[in-house]
Amino acid sequence: MTPYDTIKTESRIKELKIAILHLRPEVLSGRPPVLFIHGASFPSSLAFGFRMSGYSWMDELSANGIESFALDFLGYGNSDRYPEMYNSSPAGSPAGRAMDAYKDIDSAVNVVIGKTGFKKIDLVAHSWGASVAMLYASRFPEKINKLVLFAPITTRNGSGIAQQIGSVYEEMTPQTRVGQMDVLTPSAFRPFLEKELDSSWKQNWLQSDPLAARGGGNVRFPAGPAQDVEDLQHGQAYYTPALIRAPVLIIRGEWDAYPSNEDAGRLFEQLTNAPSKKYVVVEKGSHVLHLEKNRSKLYREVLNFLSKKNRPGF
């Protein structure tokens, strides 16, 4: 299997670098490159680059001639950590919020454009990362060819006041994280995660964090996404779907509770200036469909969307 390259580049913060996973196919299709954007808690190498039965989502694109890149936000994977994450106490303002993190998407996009020669790229983003991608696409429409929002975290009109999180970072054991993902599937279908999630994924996530030893075997990751999600659930949006001007695919698993079918439908309606838009529900899939037994259906739907020419009504 072709090994990945890792590219390091300057982040929005002086002296801190972000990492980009890269896979170039032997034969290029001529389609624009893809930049993957991960969600909260774990990096791209454990999402889009994680090989299950020897095959990852990035491998799927490579097999179809599409060059792919996958960003690690600051605080994740091979990217540098925020200085505050080295503190033994997590107390402080949440690190890695969307209103800052979207600027590092632009750093990664510029790397992709520079390496491939394309003026526009395709953006494929998951969960909280999809909300950051919507913010980015609204600010830099000239750099986006197509936008895939996989299980995007959307705004809701929750009652009450959004909780203010007073932590720079969160900590969690790999066992707990996999357990949280497992229960996203209805009990009658468990286990539905790919088998590697209960073995190598856990070890890889622990090894991806240089601060894990400080946390006693817990993985440390920025708390900014948790505050962003809290705000979004209480109607405090930091992105405007109407400003997105690229073709958009919204895709989620049928078991996903956030976004629910109602959430996704509302977002679909708000994409008023997208030249074309499509909403797909994949049967037997949760919020982490890309790590489950039905992941090939996700791959196929996204590939079909990316492979079509940009024109209204497809």
pLDDT of residue 213: 82
Q: Which helix (H) or strand (E) holds 101?
A: helix 98-116
pTM of this structure: 0.97
Q: What confidence tens digit (pLDDT) does each residue in 61-103 have?
A: 999 999 999 999 999 999 999 999 999 999 999 999 999 999 9
If you compute the radius of gyration of the chain from its CA atoms, what whole number of angstroms results? 18
Q: To the nearest whole number, what is the mean pLDDT of the chain?
A: 96
Beta bridge partners of 172: 219
Q: What confidence tens digit (pLDDT) does each residue in 22-47 have?
A: 999 999 999 999 999 999 999 999 99
Q: Is residue 136 part of a domain?
A: yes
Residue with tokens 């000239």: 142
Q: Is residue 181 part of a domain?
A: yes
**Mean pLDDT, residues 10-28:** 97
What is the Cα–Cα distance from 155 to 6, expressed in whole angstroms?
34
What is the Cα–Cα distance from 201 to 284, expressed in whole angstroms?
22
**Mean pLDDT, residues 263-288:** 98
Beta bridge partners of 250: 149, 279
DSSP state of 213: T
pLDDT of residue 311: 53
Strands in the chain per DSSP E: 5-10, 17-23, 34-37, 68-72, 121-126, 144-150, 169-172, 219-222, 248-253, 277-282
Say how many domains are in the chain.
1
Q: Is residue 312 part of a domain?
A: no
Region label for 175, one of left (φ > 0), alpha (ψ between -120 and 50) or beta (otherwise): alpha
Q: Is residue 28 part of a domain?
A: yes
**Mean pLDDT, residues 168-178:** 97
Q: Is residue 314 part of a domain?
A: no
pLDDT of residue 68: 98
Q: Is residue 122 part of a domain?
A: yes
Q: Is residue 270 part of a domain?
A: yes
What is the Cα–Cα distance from 187 to 225, expressed in whole angstroms?
28
Q: What are phi and psi of 213, to 5 degrees?
A: -65, -35
Q: What confidence tens digit (pLDDT) does each residue in 286-299 have?
A: 999 999 999 999 99
What is the Cα–Cα distance from 68 to 129, expressed in whole angstroms?
17
What is the Cα–Cα distance from 106 to 92, expressed in whole angstroms?
27
Q: What confidence tens digit (pLDDT) does each residue in 120-167 have?
A: 999 999 999 999 999 999 999 999 999 999 999 999 987 778 899 999
pLDDT of residue 312: 44
Percent of the chain with pLDDT over 90: 94
Q: What confidence tens digit (pLDDT) does each residue in 207-230 have?
A: 999 999 887 889 999 999 999 999
Region label for 237, one of left (φ > 0), alpha (ψ between -120 and 50) or beta (otherwise): beta
- Read off the CATH number of the domain in which 137 is found: 3.40.50.1820
Q: Residue 278 sits in which domain range?
A: 5-307
For the residues of 170-190, what is the DSSP string, one character each?
Answer: EEE-HHHHHHHHHTTS-GGG-
Q: Is residue 16 part of a domain?
A: yes
